[in-house]
Amino acid sequence: MTQTKSPLRIAIAPVRALFVSDAREGLLLMAVAVLALIVANSAFSEAYEGLLHGTLPWSPVPKLSNIHLWINDGLMALFFFVVGLEVKRELVEGDLADRQARRLPVMTAAAGMIVPAAVFISLVNGNPELDRGWAIPAATDIAFAMGVVGLLGNRVPAALRLFLLTVAIVDDIGAVIVIAVFYTAKVKAAWAIGAVAAASVLALFNMRRIDSIWPYAIVAVALWFCVLHSGIHATVAGVVAALCVPMRKRDDTPLLAPLEHRLTPWNAYFVVPLFALANAGVDLRGANLDTFLAPLPLAVAAGLVIGKQAGIMGAIFAATKLGIAQRPRGTTWLQVWGVSVLCGIGFTMSLFIGTMAFAGVPELYEQAKIGVLTGTFISLVMGYLILRFARPAAASSEIPT
């Protein structure tokens, strides 16, 4: 017998949704992004830029001479460290440890990176100056996407939530590979050798069953310092260090999980919002329709809005029809489409890749930011509306396959 919800419960449901964990993180990120846009278009814009990009009186790492660099090359290494911990846990004992379970997420994540890149390249018309931004629309912001899912509550089936999370993890792996391979400047051999030596020491700690986190932390900082000066982006050090953290159990307590548990809130409520505050601000004063339809913003936005959903939805449909894998149990195609659209929320990783793609060309990075913010906003609203009005599988005439 179906229990009828009272009008009061229906009325307060959106308010209650604001207090679930996923929604809190996503809403904080949205609020900070809006704040950055407001400040960048206000009388405080010069102070905002000066605070971020003004040369510091002193820096313990001379290469990081301003706050913006400390956030993007320093704090974001912690972000990638937590991503690395999550990836290792999933690969060793999570959903990605099962070959059959990871088949669909890997296929869809790959398609969700390739198709947006293809859309981007097709729209910049072979302009070599803009081609470097091909990976910007290939990334998904899991905090934003899961925040929207959190607001929707039980309208999004648990299997679809898990699918989105798993796809985002695989997407993060792909993004790290892209950063390391395609956005690495000329490598400085001496620093690279130092980085390899530091990584080897971390691996040795793991092999020797060293359980204290402090030796790992000290050598991880040395690894980051070497990678920072090597020409490889410093954030790669975060992932490498995370993969060396042991998952063995001591006194029936895993070593990696508590560390991930302690650092995840710092990532969600400090590192990522601070990155958003430092990178989402773009001056739109004087902007018009031509600003948004310029080749670079249009290519980025189209890659996120069109390329992401086409790649992910197409891969799920193809895998289902070919019998390679099945779509998440208990979902309808409309719900799957809604989640595919939400994957077009690029934001954090897209902005981050943009900083590398157009390093030293601030006018192009500003254009890329416009594309990221536009594509993210459209994907967010569109995905939310699709999932908000999609009927659950039990109420749909469609039988899940």
pLDDT (tens digit, 9 = 90+) per residue, 26-39? Answer: 889 999 999 999 99
Report residue 94's pLDDT band, with 50, 70 and 90 as the boundaries. confident
Q: In the predicted model, is pLDDT for residue 107 greater than 90?
A: yes
Q: How far apart are CA 210 and CA 162, in angstroms?
A: 33
The rounded radius of gyration (Å) of the Cα atoms in the chain is: 22
Residue 397 has pLDDT above 50, yes or no: no
In what helix (H) or strand (E) does residue 253 lie, and over which residues does it extend? strand 253-254
* Element housing 84 (H / E): helix 76-93
Other Cβ atoms less than 10 A from the Cβ of 319: the count is: 18
pTM of the model: 0.88
Quick one: 17-60+108-180+275-394 is in which CATH superfamily? Na+/H+ antiporter like domain (1.20.1530.10)
- The CA distance from 244 to 138, in Å, is 27
Q: According to DSSP H, which parts of 74-157 are helical?
A: 76-93, 99-123, 128-131, 142-152
pLDDT band at 352 (very low <50, low <70, confident <90, very high): very high
Q: What percent of the chain has pLDDT over 90?
A: 68
pLDDT at 256 over 90: no
Give the bridge partners for 249, in sequence order.
Answer: 254
Q: What percent of the chain has pLDDT over 70?
A: 91
Which residue type occupies 203? A
Out of 133-137, 173-177, 295-299, 303-307, which region has the weakest mean confidence (pLDDT)?
173-177
φ, ψ at 249 (rounded to 5°): -105, 135
